[in-house]
């Protein structure tokens, strides 16, 4: 539910949300922020790596995010926010402070890890939190790359990821395609690709993998944003 009338949001958000407090804020880089949430209502829920949560980020707007870590026993959650600066979600996340409270809707969703011995993670800055969560939970080997703006080569390591940083020099997706050209795994029923972030890039990478003969079932996509649509 990206948007709804404010009067309806006033009813539904507290009814279905789980109350949580912001207990930690770390600015990892100029547009990269990690926020920790805690609350009794976060305890005991079912969470799988890749599940999403949702926040109300303005009177009418809601935005989905994928936690980079979730501990249902302790009632804690961390989210890595990439601050696009082009939408209500970025404005909301940039202004979060310790001691604030918010409602967390979810977690849920079906973009989760498959049973495979090799997981290939390909995406942009918006996928950093998702990939960090996947890398911790993956039962097999994780390889891949994160496409970042110039100067962002250290970003994967900032969230604990041992993935390549592919600096963006041309069209979005070019750097990931170049990485894939040099590092494409052998075709196997035991490999799964996870493509996340910019819609156009995911389409290009998916088409390349299909042309190379990888089966559709081994390619999972999660689009977070696209040009021409209201930003994060």
Kindly give the residue spans of alpha helices, DSSP state H, lying in 50-193. 88-94, 128-137, 155-158, 174-183
Q: How far apart are CA 14 and CA 140, in angstroms?
A: 39
Q: How far apart are CA 46 and CA 42, in angstroms?
A: 10
Q: Tell me the average pLDDT of the chain.
A: 94
Task: Please say if the pLDDT value at position 231 is more than 60.
Answer: no
Task: Please say if the pLDDT value at position 128 is more than 70.
Answer: yes
Angle, CA of 226, 157 and 132, to the nearest 5°: 60
Q: How far apart are CA 179 and CA 147, in angstroms?
A: 10
Query: What is the rounded (10 degree) CA torsion for 154, 155, 161, 163?
Result: -70
Report in angstroms the alpha-carbon separations of 85 from 10, 23, 172, 206, 220. Answer: 25, 23, 18, 28, 27
Q: What is the pTM (predicted TM-score) of this model?
A: 0.95
Contact 148, 155 (CB under 8 A): yes
Q: How far apart are CA 226 and CA 218, in angstroms?
A: 23
**Distance from CA of residue 231 to its chain's centroid?**
15
3: pLDDT confidence band, cut at 50, 70 and 90?
confident
Residues 144-182: tens digit of each pLDDT: 999 999 999 999 999 999 999 999 999 999 999 999 999
Say which residue the tokens 């040009």 belong to: 227
Residues 8-30: tens digit of each pLDDT: 888 888 899 999 999 999 999 99
């Amino acid at each position: 539910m990206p948007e709804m009338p404010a009067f309806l949001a006033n009813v539904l958000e507290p009814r279905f949300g789980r109350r949580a407090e912001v207990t930690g804020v770390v600015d990892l880089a100029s547009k990269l922020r990690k926020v920790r949430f805690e609350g009794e209502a976060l305890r005991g829920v079912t969470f799988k790596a890749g599940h999403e949560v949702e926040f109300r980020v303005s009177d009418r707007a809601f935005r989905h995010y994928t936690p980079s870590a979730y501990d249902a026993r302790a009632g804690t959650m961390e989210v890595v926010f990439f601050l696009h600066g082009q939408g209500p979600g970025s404005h909301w996340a940039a202004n979060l402070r310790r001691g604030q409270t918010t409602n967390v809707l979810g977690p849920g969703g079906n973009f989760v890890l498959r049973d495979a011995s090799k997981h290939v993670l390909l995406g942009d800055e918006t996928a950093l939190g998702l990939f960090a969560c996947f890398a911790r939970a993956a039962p097999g080997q994780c390889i891949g790359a994160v496409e970042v703006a110039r100067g962002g080569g250290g970003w994967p390591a900032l969230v604990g990821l041992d993935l390549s940083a592919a600096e963006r020099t041309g069209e979005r997706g070019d750097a990931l395609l170049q990485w894939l050209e040099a590092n494409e795994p052998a075709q196997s029923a035991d490999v799964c690709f996870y493509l996340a972030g910019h819609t156009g890039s995911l389409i290009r990478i998916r088409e390349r993998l299909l042309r190379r003969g990888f089966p559709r079932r081994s390619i999972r996509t999660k689009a977070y944003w696209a040009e021409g649509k209201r930003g994060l």
